Structure 1
Amino acid sequence: MTQAAAARSPAPPGGGAGPGPAGRRRRNGRGRRRGGLANPDGLWPWLFVLPTLLGLAVFYFWPVLQTAYYSFTRWGVFGGAEFVGLENWAGLIASGQVPRALVNTLLYTAILLVGIPISIVIANLLNRPGLRFVSFYRVLFFAPFVSMPAAIALVWGMIFNSQYGILNQFLGVFGVPRVHWTSTEWVALLAIGIVGVWSSLGFNIIILGAGLRGIPAEMHEAAWIDGASSWRQLVSITVPLLSPSIFFLSVLSVIHGMELFDLIYIMIGESNPIKGATQSMVSLFYREAFISNDKGTGAAIAILLMLIIGLLTAVQFRVQRRWADDG
């Protein structure tokens, strides 16, 4: 076709581009813009995640919003919520119970974090080549993690008993006087922290053991040839390369520590005179919401605890992100 015939040929209907490359690109662009959720390629992912989103909305997001609203209300004996504004929050500040409960909870959380270095040492020992019965040792360490917290608290409550507890009997052999583990304020928190560390060792060791198996053996061999001791290899090679696992465990330990309740409830007991001085944030929530039947104040404590956990987690991510990434 000559250039004159091409010039006389009619344009496509609608003034659009012809069948050339420019026209195809324009039509494809309009087709993509009309896609979205109507496009099967964009709809299927949403269908797969829809059950999870519904579950989160029903069992997580909606209860949080509902609890936040209840923190500004007062409940009667037979139900019925009355909006009271910031009265519940002002009552928490005036009562003075929150600072002590928060200090107790943070102390327990700090003790849990001390368990991470202990777990690193144990996991490193279990990862030594040629060690026999490694699987048996891992099962022994992991068994407390899958045991019921109530059962753990009952057993350790008998161990820490000041009258017939096996711990005091063992210490008495060395001339140590009887210690009232669960009836002295700060000693009771230390005893509960020891139980928390013991019960979390198994999970920490499993996570750290997986990270240790990902470290190339050639790095330790090269360090050994250069004369590095086992401690030096642990500090200079193992710990930096385990930083992502350590960061993960630290975040979980903080969240788990801030949720302390069952160990205090069973080991300290309701008749113990120090129960008020050793209560955690969750214990305070339980006492206000279910013992005193003040659901508005209980909801305020729950929201305050959620905000504190979120703040601590955000600080951890902010402070440890570079350290974990560099590892």
Structure 2
Amino acid sequence: MWGYAFIAPVGLGLAVFYLWPVLQTGYFSFTEWGAFGGHTWTGLDNYRRLLSDPQVGTSLVNTVSYTLLGLLAIPLAIVFAALLNREGLRGVGVYRTLFFLPVVTMPVAVAMVWRWLYNGDYGLINHVLSLVGIDGPNWIADPDTALYALVLVGIWSSVGYNLIIFLAGMQAIPREYYDAAAIDGAGPVRQFFRITLPLLSPTAFFVSVISVIGSLQLFDLVYVLVGSGQTARTNPAFPRLQTVVQLFYDRAFVTNDRGYAAAIVMLLLVVIIALTALQFRLQKRWVHYG
């Protein structure tokens, strides 16, 4: 009973603020809401509409594309963590702070700064490119560059968090392994691939799971960069940037179609569960064959 007593506060918080809203949203996904509140049961109508809505498919493809491209932050974080983990490196604390600053910065502030950097008329990036004779595009308004510009911001924001986790994982590896490898003639690069990466696989798995879940819920960066509703639709690149969560927000709070919005977010929940289960299955096979 003491064990249950100690976990009761956390369990109660999870039940009230996480489990109950999920169940409530699942129920609302089978309803239709009126303009002045109140709802009526409509069965599977919202899900039938979901399957025939082209915007749902487009936003889902955009979200998955952003998630897959954003996984590039993991190898980058591993490389930077390995560099910072070297013995005798001066100023390690300063480097850690600089890498971690984007993580503790408010996402809205990050998006506003990058919105200025990406501006096609007076942005700093295009100004630097103009100095070498390159006419830069309007990064967020160009359908060919919009998604990659968004991915770059996401990677820049998440590398620091991943780096701290990988650095902790590397420091937990016994130093004797590296000393023995050095005696056998293995250099730093071979030690990295033969010792660091294999022993870092559980940490990499954890980072990949939380990265995928976080990327699938992308909203704040897109909202600040391109807006929502009619304002966002004036952006030519909006079809390449709209995410599932932004589509949910637009249906729930702009057009007041809350039942359909609940169905959209339940679809996202299913996608997150499916991809997380796939990651766990691949991890088990990796461990088995390893």
Instruction: Provide TM-score, normalisation by structure 2.
Output: 0.94
Which position in structure 2 is the counterpart of 1:247?
205
Which position in structure 1 is the counterpart of 2:91?
133
Which position in structure 2 is the counterpart of 1:286?
249
Amino acid at match of 1:64: V
Taking a change above 3 Å as real, the CA distance of residues 237 and 326 of structure 1, as seen in their structure-2 partners, is farther
Rg (Cα) greater in structure: 1
Contact 1:247 1:324 in 2 (8 A): no
Which position in structure 1 is the counterpart of 2:280?
317
Amino acid at match of 1:300: A
Which position in structure 2 is the counterpart of 1:300?
263
Amino acid at match of 2:132: F
Query: Which consecutive residues of structure 2, in runs of 5 or more, have no partner in the other structure?
Result: none
How many correspondences in the alignment? 285
1:1-327 to structure 2, matched below 5 A, reads 43-269=1-227, 270=232, 271-323=234-286
Contact 1:247 1:320 in 2 (8 A): yes
1:75: how far off? 0.4
Contact 2:142 2:236 in 1 (8 A): no
The range that moved more, 264-273 or 57-66, is 264-273
1:207: how far off? 0.5
Contact 1:244 1:324 in 2 (8 A): no
Amino acid at match of 1:275: F
CA deviation map 1:296-320 (0-9, x unaligned): 1100011110111011111101111
Secondary structure at 1:144 match in 2: helix
Contact 1:109 1:258 in 2 (8 A): yes
Residues in 2 aligned to 1:61 and 1:49: alpha-carbon distance in whole angstroms: 16
Instruction: Provide TM-score, normalisation by structure 1.
Output: 0.83
Amino acid at match of 1:170: V
Percent of aligned pairs with the same amino acid? 51
Taking a change above 3 Å as real, the CA distance of residues 175 and 228 of structure 1, as seen in their structure-2 partners, is farther
Tell me how large the CA RMSD over aligned residues is: 1.6
Contact 2:63 2:218 in 1 (8 A): yes
CA deviation map 1:44-90 (0-9, x unaligned): 22222222222222111111111111101100000111111111111
Contact 2:143 2:240 in 1 (8 A): yes
Which structure ranks higher in relative contact order (CA pairs < 8 Å, sequence separation ≥ 6)? 2
Amino acid at match of 2:174: P
